[in-house]
């Protein structure tokens, strides 16, 4: 593990020697002065909020030499007018956060880097899913940005028991994965098993998002034709499953939520089943249930 040096030049040389940074036009590097000290900033163009970063840099560049703190921790706690700020000294982790969209600030004389999570990803608006419509209920749906999706669930479940644990998979892609569950309702053994399986995945990239993850977690067996997961694009459906003790897996860049565990009856459910009593459902739904049950009985026998 290579640590951040107190010499600004050493840190800048390390970052610029990294191929993914040196050869990429969209990674911005700029030298600035903060409190009469040399400083350097790195960011990914398109991931940072321009207006916010402009105001932030204007504030920093107005600091005087006598106002400068002794270290990066004090700088982050007392002089940074922003909420999501972290301090790291591992250059490998710092590079990962830069490529994820964080703003990096190196200051000469500080042996730690200041990370400002000001990222914003290109995203479409939160609209109702095309294939998962409901006659009643909300008209919003999951999108490809994982933070938006966790916010849609958190808006519906305002409980301190709701857990959202961030992990990542893929040696190259390092795709973000969020495990959502209720601590006091979900099966703790199953949650732990899922965590271990995700952490033990050895794959280069989740090229097909949640489909690649599903194949890595549970390999298909030829004698079991039924799926191990149920998918939904509706936040209200996902929230209902979590409140029933289920576990939701969200994958970055995917508008679908994976629901597990699932049974035969869970797979047959649709969005309207949450808003209409099953007895007053359509003849088509009843027929579908009978056909599925018959096929299940035949396969077991």
Annotate 169-229 with DSSP letters as a single string: E-TTT-EEEEEEEETTTS-HHHHHHHHHHHHT---S--TTTHHHHHHHHS---TT--S-S-
Phi, psi of 104 (to 5 degrees): -105, 140
Q: Where are any strands of DSSP class E within the chain?
A: 27-34, 37-44, 85-88, 103-107, 113-116, 162-169, 175-182, 230-232, 247-251, 257-260
pLDDT per residue over 87-128, tens digit each? Answer: 999 999 999 899 888 899 999 999 999 999 887 777 788 888
CA atoms within 13 A on the CB side of 103: 22
Beta-bridge partner residues of 40: 31, 106
Helix, strand, coil percentages (3-state) for the chain, rounded to 5, are 40, 20, 40
Tell me what pLDDT residue 243 has: 95
Beta-bridge partner residues of 41: 30, 105
268 three-state secondary structure: helix
Tell me what pLDDT residue 223 has: 62
**Residue numbers of the chain with a pLDDT score lower than 70:** 19-20, 220-225, 268, 273-286, 288-289, 301
Q: Which of 88, 235, 248 is nearest to 177 (CA)?
A: 248
Tell me what pLDDT residue 99 has: 86
Tell me what pLDDT residue 244 has: 92
Lookup: tokens for 141: 């749906």
Q: How far is Cα 155 from Cα 141, in angstroms, rounded to an integer?
A: 13
Domain regions of the chain by residue span: 8-116, 146-300
120 three-state secondary structure: coil
Would you give the distance in Å from CA 90 to the centre of its chain? 22
Report the 10 Å Cβ neighbour count for 142: 25
Tell me what pLDDT residue 294 has: 80
| Distance, first Cα to last Cα, the chain | 58
Q: In angstroms, what is the C-alpha Rg of the chain?
A: 24
């Amino acid at each position: 593990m290579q640590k951040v040096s107190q010499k600004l030049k050493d840190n800048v040389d390390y970052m610029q020697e990294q191929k993914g940074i040196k050869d990429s036009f969209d990674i911005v590097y700029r030298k600035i002065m903060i409190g009469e000290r040399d400083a350097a900033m790195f960011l990914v163009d398109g991931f940072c909020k321009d207006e916010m970063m402009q105001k932030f840099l204007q504030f920093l560049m107005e600091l005087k030499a006598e106002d400068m703190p002794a270290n990066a921790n004090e700088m982050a706690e007392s002089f940074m007018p922003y909420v999501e700020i972290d301090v790291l000294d591992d250059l490998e982790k710092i590079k990962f956060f830069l490529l994820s969209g964080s703003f990096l600030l190196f200051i000469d004389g500080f042996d730690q880097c200041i990370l400002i999570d000001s990222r914003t990803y290109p995203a479409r608006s939160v609209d109702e899913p095309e294939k998962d419509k409901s006659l009643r209920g909300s008209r919003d749906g999951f999108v490809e940005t994982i933070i938006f999706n966790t916010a849609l669930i958190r808006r519906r479940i305002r409980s301190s028991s709701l857990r959202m644990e961030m992990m990542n998979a893929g040696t190259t892609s390092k795709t973000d994965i969020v495990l959502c569950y209720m601590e006091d309702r979900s099966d703790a053994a199953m949650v732990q098993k899922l965590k271990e399986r995700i952490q033990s995945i050895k794959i280069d990239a989740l090229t097909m998002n949640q489909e690649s993850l599903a194949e890595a977690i549970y390999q298909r067996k030829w004698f079991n034709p039924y799926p191990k997961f149920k998918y939904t694009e509706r936040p209200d459906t996902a929230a209902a499953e979590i409140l029933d003790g289920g576990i939701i897996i969200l994958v970055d860049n995917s508008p679908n939520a994976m629901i597990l565990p699932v049974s035969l009856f869970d797979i047959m459910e649709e969005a309207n089943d949450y808003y209409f009593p099953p007895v007053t459902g359509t003849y088509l739904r009843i027929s579908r249930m009978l056909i599925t049950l018959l096929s299940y009985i035949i396969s077991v026998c």
